[in-house]
Amino acid sequence: MNPFMRPSKLLLVVASLLVSLPAVAQLNDGKPDPDFTVPERLDLNYALAYALDNNFAIRQAKERIRQQEGIVLDVRSNQLPGVTASAGVQRNSDDVSSNGRNEAWSVDITARQVIYAGGSVTASIKGQQLALDAAVLSLRAVINDALLGVRTQFYTVLLNRERIKVQEQNIELLQRQLQDVKNRYEAGTVSNFEVLRAEVALANAQPALIIARNDYRIAIEELRQAMGYVAASDNNVTKVPDFLGTLDFNPSSFELRSALVTAREQRPDLKRLAKLTDASEQNVTASRAGRLPNVSAFGSYDWRQAPLASNRSSLDGWTVGVQSSWDIFDGRSTAGRVAQARSILEQNRLALAEAQLGVEVEVRRAISSLQESTELAEASKKVVEQAEEAVRLANARYSAGTATQLDVLTSQVDLTTARLNQLQAYYRYNIAVASVRNAMGLSDESLPAGELKYP
């Protein structure tokens, strides 16, 4: 990597190459889109691309990098010479001016360069550069978590949309059943009790549809929040796009041992803690520098005219020198700072070890959840097929007079339950796959193959 390239510029370049989509807004340009217009259609990749530029957690992480860049620049200034200029003019009363002159002026330019500071300057620069690397890794972790959140919320929108369809299909079946019972009642083949039972079944199905519609509306708002979309235009307040995509089941598997190895190597939060630990070691070195002398060189040039000068000409000249200072006894202040730095170093080491354990547990939990959701998804496919056949047979037997109305209603309830269970299983499976990838520290699968390069 070019050492003179600013990390923030590198991040913006990388972000601009992450996803290439036909855009209504300018996606992946590293800039938010406050005037974004809600599209007619919205798919998952578009939502992820929009979040890269507009998600508030990602934008804050980018600002933390810029903040740390400023800290590095500030600390690095200690390696360079400092130049100061000063000037002054004074006027005295005639009572204190013995030679009739009561004005004086001076101009001074001084340059100072630190020659030796016990290693504190170099250690501080290295420590802050490591902290900058940690901020970059933090951005990557935030991106992974934010995109997982967007993906989860998008799947939630699809889930609730399909739940509405299932409940509408259930109501349609119950309406047909009610009409059939009414026809039979008018023909005198069934009693009014069966009509009442069909009406009750239809009425009981309405709340589930109402709840599904409300869940769908809420899911859309939560997706909007995850994307970082702010409705700036009145036209966008009530506009809802057509969400593209389905909850599919495409079985995949991850081997536990390789997943754990990948997580240890790729998790950006672990890399971040490792960088902070290294930075803490540099802070210990910088703290020890308080026990050593400081040496600096200086040079200055002066122009001045004093009120007591015998003539009206000014004086000028240069001065160079070397200055050293050494705190022989500072009341154990340096020892206290070293103790603090060592404690922070140990805390960071413990935090890294704790995080490594937490990542291992997270990977195991994610793979276990994937196994569970895979089994549920596979089982749900067969149950739906059986439930559909049961409804067909119940209706046929009811028409033939060999089954009761209760058999028909029960089979319809079972079919609705089976369809909802299948949707939930497919939803959980897709979330589980994304969670495993996130636990392993892999980028979202919508991004190009290969790991992003950070300093």
Q: What is the DSSP string of 251-310?
A: -----HHHHHHHHHHH-HHHHHHHHHHHHHHHHHHHHHGGGS-EEEEEEEEEEEE-TT-S
CATH fold of 29-80+121-291+334-439:
Outer membrane efflux proteins (OEP) (1.20.1600)
CA distance 268 to 359: 11
Asked whether residue 317 carries a pLDDT value surpassing 90, the answer given is no
**Region 44-58: what's the mean pLDDT?**
92
Q: Residues 376, 152, 355, 61: what is their CA dihedral angle, to the nearest 10 degrees?
A: 170
Q: What pLDDT, in 10s, does the model give residues 385-406?
A: 899 899 899 989 888 888 888 8
State the number of CA atoms in the 13 A half-sphere of 393 facing the CB: 9
The string of DSSP letters for 208-251 reads: HHHHHHHHHHHHHHHHHHHHT----SGGGSS---EE--------
Name residue 296's beta-bridge partners.
114, 323
For the chain, the maximum distance between any two Cα atoms, rounded to a whole number of angstroms, is 135
CB atoms within 10 A of CB 118: 20
Residue 258 has pLDDT above 80, yes or no: yes
Tell me the per-residue pLDDT of 417-451, one tens digit each, with 9 for 90 and over: 999 999 999 999 999 999 999 999 998 877 654 44
What is the value of pTM for the model shown? Answer: 0.83
* pLDDT (0 to 100) of residue 247: 93
